[in-house]
Amino acid sequence: MRTIIGLLAAVVLSNSCSNLPQPKQINANQSSVAAEVILRKSALQHGDPWKRYQRVDVAYNGEWSYLATRLQPVITDAGFRKCSKEIYEPRLKKVRQLHSGPQGEKQVIRQGRQSEATFNGVRSKSQEVKDAAALVADAYTVFLFGPSWLIQNGENFRLMEDRTLGGERCHLVAGQITPGFGAASRDDFIVWIGKESRLMKRFQFSLNGMDSTRGADVDVTFSEHWKAPDGSIWPRHFVEYIQRPVLAKAHDWRMVSLRLDGKMAR
């Protein structure tokens, strides 16, 4: 059986290095009003969902890459995380995720800095499992609520050099989240905002919440944006890549349903 080191070596040999900027070492003294304005305008373009809704129900379906499941089996948890139904209550800062897969059901409850994970009704006592569940719940909150969440919870925003993604020139806004995802004391991020659309197109972030991921960074791209009947805008297709220490596709998933404050939107 191939070892993790062997897998890493194979990836390094078969993939080029990441060409994305690394989300780290953000200088607080470089905080920019212009960067914050861009982020606020993007939040409004999306409908400012983190402030607007009391409850958002969403369902996803996706596929993990083989490499991701081997490198990070606790985070990917592919035996349980095939499909998910998730409930977000922004004003309570609460997330409940019900994942399902070939091995059964996994439930994660994350509120504030507290979290728990149960597998087929049995609560896990593993700190590593709880840290992984917390990291995933926090990250997926950003994936769904985007700039609306970041403007409320991020800090030290600054502009980086523009880049192009999917044919659209993008502002790159870097910043920090303190505390970070999961058990991290801090994480750094770069969010790509389309100059014309004002929509979040990519989110890069560090993974400091676990010993096994510290020093790594990943990115998620967002596409197939859809306007709900109330005017809010949501991405429907999500693709995640590991950027460092190796460049490899990790996860591809889609939104299959959306309910906003009890009203079916999709």
pLDDT in tens, 1-45: 343 334 444 444 345 578 999 997 555 456 689 999 999 999 999
Q: Which two tokens stand for residue 175?
A: 């910043």
Q: Look up residue 24 and give its two tokens.
A: 């780290």
Lowest mean pLDDT: which of 9-18, 121-130, 247-256?
9-18
pTM: 0.91
- What distance separates the 2 farthest-apart alpha carbons in the chain? 53
pLDDT computed for residue 265 by the predictor: 87
Q: Select the more confidently predicted residue: 127 or 6.
A: 127
Is the per-residue pLDDT at 156 higher than 60? yes
For residue 262, pLDDT beyond 50: yes
225 — pLDDT class (breaks 50, 70, 90)? very high
How many other CB atoms sit within 10 Å of the CB of residue 102? 8
Q: Which helix (H) or strand (E) holds 251?
A: strand 248-260
| pLDDT for 8 | 45
As a whole number of angstroms, the distance between CA 19 and CA 251 comes to 19
What is the arithmetic mean of pLDDT over 152-178? Answer: 95
DSSP track, 149-218: HHHHHEEEEEEEEEEEETTEEEEEEEEEESS-STT-S-EEEEEEEETTT--EEEEEEE--SSTTTTT-EE
